[in-house]
Amino acid sequence: MLKFKCLNLVYSSSATVYGTPETIPIPETSPVQPESVYGRSKGMCEDIIKDTCHAERSFNAVGLRYFNPAGAHPSGTMGEDPRGKPGNLLPLLAAIAVGRYSQDGLKVFGDDYPTHDGTCVRDYLHVMDLAKGHVLSLDALEKAEIFKNCGKTGNYRAFNLGHGKGQSVLDMIEAMRKASGYDYQYSIVGRRMGDVPDLTADPTLAERELGFIATEDLESMCRDLWRWQSSHPNGYDEPTPTTNGESSQ
């Protein structure tokens, strides 16, 4: 990167780096103590980038700790298309509602967490807000104001990208029912290894220093996800129409 004078970096980190945080909503000052392999890999990458900024003073980086990205582009033309059965909650709910998977497979992992309904709480963030956070980070890297207190540690800052509002698994099932009209049936099963009760962001720092405010709500997130999924039931694998109206596949 130095050779090509690419000195500014935005790194996609994850809220998973916080493990089971003591403070909810989670500020960036919470200890980084991931409990999953994925979270450890994100934490390690942050450390490497931070060390690089320390060693090479012309290098500037921002680590964005994503909470739970969800939704799709509002046009309905771009969305998530996981290979095989989705492991994440919202893509799975969308795939079930469109008939791609039977709802017999809808399992809620645990209802004995210390949350308002016993199911895990996450801070779901519309992908359009997430994208906005990246643009703001690139602008901030150019101005370098965010590094004014970094001193000897080098120009690295980590920010939460979240809404600051937590939703439970059951809240999300209800929100997707409203968006899609599909009446989900589910079973409660045991906890999934690696899940933590509540990951809700404190988004104050990103608002103050990057000007980041998540403006999309739960309704628009589920509506946009459903617009994408219902117009692309097979994701990007749909037959491509030819000029004479026939399918090319």
Ligand X SMILES: O=c1ccn([C@@H]2O[C@H](COP(=O)(O)OP(=O)(O)O[C@H]3O[C@H](CO)[C@H](O)[C@H](O)[C@H]3O)[C@@H](O)[C@H]2O)c(=O)[nH]1
Does 141 bind ligand X (CB under 6 A)? Our answer is no
DSSP run (H or E) holding 211: none
| CB closer to ligand X out of 120 and 225 | 120
How far are the Cα atoms of 2, 181, 226 from residue 191, in angstroms, in the given order? 45, 28, 27
| CB closer to ligand X out of 122 and 155 | 122
Neighbours of 183 (CB within 10 A): 8
DSSP run (H or E) holding 167: strand 167-168
184 included as an active-site residue: no
Does 40 bind ligand X (CB under 6 A)? Our answer is no
Does 184 bind ligand X (CB under 6 A)? Our answer is no
Shortest CB 184 distance to ligand X, Å: 11
Residue nearest to ligand X (CB): 120
Does 89 bind ligand X (CB under 6 A)? Our answer is yes
Shortest CB 223 distance to ligand X, Å: 18
Quote the Cα angle for 165-168-171, to 5°: 95
Q: Which residues make Cβ contacts (< 8 Å) with residue 115, sequence separation at least 6?
A: 121, 166, 168, 197, 198
Does 122 bind ligand X (CB under 6 A)? Our answer is yes
| CB closer to ligand X out of 190 and 241 | 190
How far are the Cα atoms of 30, 95, 201 from residue 18, in angstroms, in the given order? 7, 30, 11
- Choose one: 88-96, 137-145, 150-158, 220-228; the region binding ligand X (CB under 6 A): 88-96
Tell which one of 10, 11, 14, 146 touches ligand X (CB under 6 A): 14
Does 108 bind ligand X (CB under 6 A)? Our answer is yes
Could you tell me if 140 and 210 are in contact, meaning their C-beta atoms sit under 8 angstroms apart? yes
Choose the catalytic residue: 11, 38, 156, 236. 38
* Unique residue bearing structure tokens 């004014």: 148
By CB under 6 A, name the binding residues for ligand X. Answer: 14-16, 66-68, 87-89, 92, 107-109, 120, 122, 169, 192, 195, 199
